[in-house]
Homo-oligomer: A and B are copies of this chain.
Amino acid sequence: MTRKILVLPGDGIGPEITAEASRILAACQANGLDIEIEQGLVGGAAYDEHGEPLPAVTLDKAKAADAILLGAVGGPKWDKLEDLAKRPEKGLLGLRKNLGLFANLRPAITYPQLASASSLKPELVAGLDIMIVRELTGGIYFGQPRGIEVRDGQRVGFNTYIYSESEIERIGRVAFELAQKRGKRLCSVDKANVLEVTILWREVMERLAPEYPDVELSHMYVDNAAMQLVRAPKQFDVMVTGNMFGDILSDAAAMLTGSIGMLPSASLNESGQGMYEPCHGSAPDIAGKGIANPLATILSVAMMLRYSLGEPEFAGRIEAAVGKVLDDGLRTADIASEGTRTVSTREMGDAVLAAF
């Protein structure tokens, strides 16, 4: 059965990095992977063309796809759009919500070849391997009521941080199951000393725990989690948290590795359909220069093959190819260091293809 892959380059460096990742997908195809590749517009690119960050045609293609590869969205060009609903970010949020991609898996891994790129002392990050499980279709990102309105003669802005038991349970199970396949330690992050919504969060995690007796569940307040990530990140195996805290902590964790340009992510729904994208953003400052690091996007293809297409062998081949290229000393500018060879986006893609 032919699987459908939708590639959404998006904005900024998105087109450059997805171009390289698409070549890897094509190489898999040439090696017998039965897929069909389509392209679509999302974010600012879609707004410029259709006046909407998530046009119906893109959403339809996305729904029909088995998996989506996304570059990145957003940029200063669209930051001044008054209407939040028109901003590039809404394209991304709309895809997540409409496809029900509630489970965002964000690995923070230190590549041995790149350990010195971290701002942390090498011994604190060598071998780091954290998996952050972020709830992606609920919480304060989507909570109602929300808006800006006049109350008592002045404007107030408000958003609602809300989770139901079933939403918490659903993401909790994903996290427990991942922990079972990894180091068997799950840290749930909340602010249960202040926020009622996270009291419920903690309670549901506690209720699930006996069903996963091999997993050791702990709880940490979000402020402490931010500190502990800086202090001693290797204490963590799997972390699970809500949409907003997950946004913040996963970016901090990614940056600990020193090579955010290397980190892929997956956003999955209940039927295993997934959207895959690099952890980094659209980097408008370097867009169009041909120097962006395509490896996070290429590794996102590997995650796609593993999680949505059930093709761990192709995934492994891509990961091995990336490892080989790093071993060979090839680096894009963002991860370059003394004694390595700085290459362009395209040259990096070429090298991975050659090693594939």
Contact = CB atoms under 8 A, between A and B. Distances in A.
A53 to B, nearest CB: 11
Interface in A154-193: 154-166, 191, 193
Contacts of A164: 151, 154-156
Contact of A154 (B84, B166, B232): B166
A255 interface: yes
Interface string A92-108: 01000000000000000
A245 B89 CA distance: 20
A247 B231 contact: no
Copies of this chain assembled into the complex:
2
A146 B156 CA distance: 17
Interface in A189-211: 191, 193-201
Most B Cβ at <10 Å: residue of A151, A159, A196: A159
Contact of A247 (B146, B155, B222, B250): B222
Given A159-B197, A196-B147, A252 B227 contact: yes
Given A157-B200, A158-B160, A193 B256 contact: no
22 contacts: A84-B193, A119-B232, A120-B120, A120-B121, A148-B200, A154-B164, A154-B165, A156-B163, A156-B165, A157-B163, A157-B197, A157-B200, A160-B161, A191-B247, A222-B248, A223-B247, A226-B248, A226-B251, A227-B252, A230-B230, A231-B255, A245-B248
Closest CB pairs A-B (n = 10): A157-B200, A157-B197, A158-B162, A226-B252, A227-B255, A223-B251, A230-B255, A156-B164, A89-B193, A159-B161
